[in-house]
Amino acid sequence: MMEARSSRHDGTLRVRAPAKVNLWLEVLGRRPDGYHEIRTVMQAVSLFDDLSFRQRGDGRVVLHARGDGLPADEENLVVRAARLLKQRLGCPAGVEARLHKRIPVARGLGGGSSNCAATLRALSRLWRLELRQGDLQRLAAELGSDVPFFLNGGTALCEGRGERVTQLAVRGTFHYVLVIPPQPLSTRSVYQRLDGCLTSEGQGSSMEEVQRALARGDPRQLVVAVHNALLIPALQLSPDTRRIAGILESVLPLAGGRGCFLSGSGSALFGVFDTAEQARRAARKVKRQLGVVALAVESLPAMGSEH
């Protein structure tokens, strides 16, 4: 998943940073620090950004980025992660980072947070900082709510504002089609729309059902249990996403899929499939019929584990 691949001949460290989907997301309330208290089950999936890191002797942090919608260097989480490591550990080394962005920005897929976690791990190795997992977790929590999850990836229950991470058992591999509406969505705007109705009552399922479906490797049981409290505010804010979701509810079942769910705060949507081949066929069908980006992906194990 995010394992580093090193090219010794030029000292470059190369890593991949995966996207995620949310299989359960409930918002419990607003915290005194301004964040929202959440409980979410996140799962890393096989859509990746590529990053490479090469040490510089001048102490500078330089980022070369390729992709649409990327924030400027000062706001990019790759740069922020590198500078936080330098500041906290007094590291004199610099780095030249390259980012090839494939995970769409502002679609609820966690690409920026994943890049950030990959940077922490890669620079800990490149700069020989010998950071323990607990040190990385604390730094990750400072940088963003989803960043701690991406340090290990896999499938996990994330609580608090996302910083408390518990790995979950998953049997086999789950298959999805990600559908990317053209319009991005602001996480802040979606949460603002949600405020005032912060209950998870009436969703008709429980997070424990999601966990049981994952442990059994049962996509049909998973579909019944998936829940995202941000779905309604996201659809209210984005007529384009609402339109596409409505079409997918009829298109995906015809292609062998089930459900039409929102990842994070959106606008990315996903359906669940029994097999990789079904997902690939469905992605092609959605592209043809809707003219939007549709990608067949699968769940990923936690770092260091096997399928």
As annotated, the active-site residues are 20, 146
69 burial via Cβ count (<10 Å: 0-12, 13-18, 19+): exposed
**How many Cα neighbours within 13 Å face the side chain of 193?**
17
Bridge partners, 41 (sequence order): 24, 157
Q: How far apart are CA 125 and CA 53, in angstroms?
A: 10
Q: How far apart are CA 261 and CA 227, in angstroms?
A: 8
Bridge partners, 180 (sequence order): 293
Bridge partners, 20 (sequence order): 44
Q: How far apart are CA 87 and CA 91, in angstroms?
A: 7
| Region for 240 from its dihedrals, namely left if φ exceeds 0, alpha if ψ lies in -120 to 50, beta otherwise | alpha
Q: How far apart are CA 246 and CA 41, in angstroms?
A: 24
**How many Cα neighbours within 13 Å face the side chain of 141?**
15
Q: How far apart are CA 211 and CA 222, in angstroms?
A: 8
